[in-house]
């Protein structure tokens, strides 16, 4: 099977989703991830203006399966906040709207940061996430919400497989939940990615490997266990190319979209070069000189 790899792309300008597809194709990607609007706010353009049919036609023409496309929910959704009622209520209502938007666009995978407990404590935050998901998820939705593994910055939750397993175990519609593995976040949370198959074994035992629906592929600027969450370009961080390459080509995740979220280099997206690295399995030591 061909490697299923792409990157975050923008959804802006008059071409909207059609422009996202064009950008992904310029990187030689066969999947991609986008936000339906700015990740920091709730402003969203009507789905009818997103040029969905034109985008789907271009995807089909280039062999891109819409079921492998990933949408990322905005960062402002915080289901774990029990200290501000209005923040929690906004999170629930906007996540519900976002799921509906993704349904209308015709995609199936929606990545969500589980949330931060904002000093209320892990137990309160996790129970709040469960409550929020139970409020939002419905039996008949097609969209699967993928809880992302987090680095543990501040009061972030979802920093361990156990936390994610507990959340999924206590949600009514478990089939509407999956997980997104972020390599930088796993590293910064303390997981040793050189033992990635052992991590997959733990996920399989506690959650089910079939729940892994997205992998964010990022190197890290920080050592393992730093709880910092600062992405680095592929092969230029503390994880390194060899480990990331082994993860990308791991047969157990062969059908899972791999999405790059690495930093721009001198205001230029590095995704074409990084995708090429993984396709050839050869590290590009000149990537940082590409400007």
- Per-residue pLDDT for 38 more than 90? no
Work out whether strand 5-8 and strand 31-34 pair parallel, antiparallel, or are unpaired.
parallel
Q: Strand, helix or coil at 45?
A: coil
Here the CATH number for the domain that contains residue 120 is 3.20.20.150
Binding site, by residue number, is 72, 113, 148, 182, 185, 216, 229, 231, 261
Backbone angles phi, psi at 231, to 5 degrees: -70, 150
* Residue 63 confidence (pLDDT): 97
Report if residue 288 sits inside a domain. Answer: no
pLDDT at 234 over 90: yes
Is residue 36's pLDDT more than 60? yes
Count the Cβ atoms, other than its own, within 10 Å of residue 27: 21
Token reading at 126:
């996790």
User: Mean per-residue pLDDT for 241-245?
Assistant: 98
User: Taking 90 as the threshold, does the pLDDT of residue 228 lie above it?
Assistant: yes
Q: Note whether 106 and 56 are within 8 A (CB).
A: yes
Which pLDDT score, from 0 to 100, does residue 290 have? 64
Residue 110: inside a domain? yes
Q: pLDDT digits over 164-219, tens only?
A: 999 999 999 999 999 999 999 999 999 999 999 999 999 999 999 999 999 999 99
Distance between the two ends of the chain, CA-based, in angstroms? 33
- Which of left, alpha, beta for 207 (phi over 0: left; psi -120 to 50: alpha)? alpha
Number of residues written out for the chain: 291
169 lies in some domain: yes
Query: Each residue of 102-135: pLDDT tens digit?
Result: 999 999 999 999 999 999 999 999 999 999 999 9
Q: At what angle do helices 85-105 and 122-136 cross, to 10 degrees?
A: 40
On average, the pLDDT of the chain sits at 96
User: 156: closest CA among 112, 186, 118, 192?
Assistant: 118
Question: 4 by DSSP, 3-state: which?
Answer: coil
How much is the pLDDT for 102? 97
Name residue, tokens 């939002």: 136
Q: Which domain range does residue 105 map to?
A: 5-283
At residue 87, the 3 state secondary structure works out as: helix
pLDDT computed for residue 42 by the predictor: 83
The answer to the question of residue 237 being in a domain is yes
Each residue's pLDDT tens digit, 58-106: 999 999 999 999 999 999 999 999 999 999 999 999 999 999 999 999 9
Q: Are 281 and 247 in contact (CB under 8 A)?
A: no
Domain membership of residue 262 (yes or no) is yes
What is residue 190's predicted lDDT score, i.e. its pLDDT?
98
Q: Are 66 and 57 in contact (CB under 8 A)?
A: no
| pLDDT at residue number 291 | 53
Query: Rounded to an integer, what distance in angstroms lies between the CA atom of residue 73 and that of residue 34?
Result: 9
Q: pLDDT exceeding 90 applies to what percent of the chain?
A: 95
Distances (CA, A) of 152 to 73, 79, 144, 259: 19, 16, 24, 21
Q: What is the reported pTM?
A: 0.97
Instruction: Summarize pLDDT for 257-285 with one digit per residue, the tens.
Output: 999 999 999 999 999 999 999 999 999 99
Total count of domains within the chain: 1
HEC-encoded secondary structure of 187-254: HHHCCCHHHHHHHHHHHHHHCCHHHEEEEEECEECCCCCCCCCCEECCCCCCCCHHHHHHHHCCHHHC
Q: Report the binding-site residues for Zn(2+).
A: 72, 113, 148, 182, 185, 216, 229, 231, 261
How does DSSP assign 26-44, residue by residue?
A: HTT-SEEEE-SS-TTS---
Region 131-144: what's the mean pLDDT?
Answer: 98
């Amino acid at each position: 099977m061909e490697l299923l790899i792409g990157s975050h792309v923008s959804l802006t300008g008059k071409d909207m989703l059609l422009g996202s597809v064009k950008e992904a194709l310029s990187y030689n990607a066969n999947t991609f991830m986008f936000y339906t609007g700015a990740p920091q706010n709730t402003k969203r353009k009507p789905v009818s203006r997103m040029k969905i049919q034109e985008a789907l036609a271009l995807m089909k023409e280039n062999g891109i399966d819409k079921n492998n496309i990933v949408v990322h929910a905005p960062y402002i959704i915080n289901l774990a906040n029990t200290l501000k009622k209005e923040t929690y209520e906004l999170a629930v209502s906007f996540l519900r709207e976002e799921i509906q938007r993704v349904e209308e666009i015709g995609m199936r995978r929606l990545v969500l940061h589980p949330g931060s407990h904002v000093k209320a404590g892990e137990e309160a935050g996790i129970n709040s996430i469960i409550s929020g998901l139970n409020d939002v998820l419905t039996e008949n939705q097609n969209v699967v919400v993928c809880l992302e593994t987090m680095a543990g910055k501040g009061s972030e939750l979802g920093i361990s497989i156990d936390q994610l397993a507990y959340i999924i175990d206590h949600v009514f519609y478990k089939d509407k939940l999956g997980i997104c593995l972020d390599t930088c976040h796993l590293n910064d949370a303390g997981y040793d990615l050189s033992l990635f198959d052992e991590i997959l074994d733990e996920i399989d035992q506690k959650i089910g490997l079939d729940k892994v629906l997205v992998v964010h592929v990022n190197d890290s600027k920080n050592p393992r266990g730093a709880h910092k969450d600062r992405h680095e370009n592929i092969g230029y961080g503390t994880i390194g190319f060899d480990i990331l390459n082994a993860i990308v080509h791991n047969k157990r995740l062969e059908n899972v979209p791999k999405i790059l979220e690495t930093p721009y280099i001198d205001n230029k997206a590095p995704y074409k070069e990084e995708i090429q690295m993984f396709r050839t399995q050869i590290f590009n030591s000149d990537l940082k000189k590409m400007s």
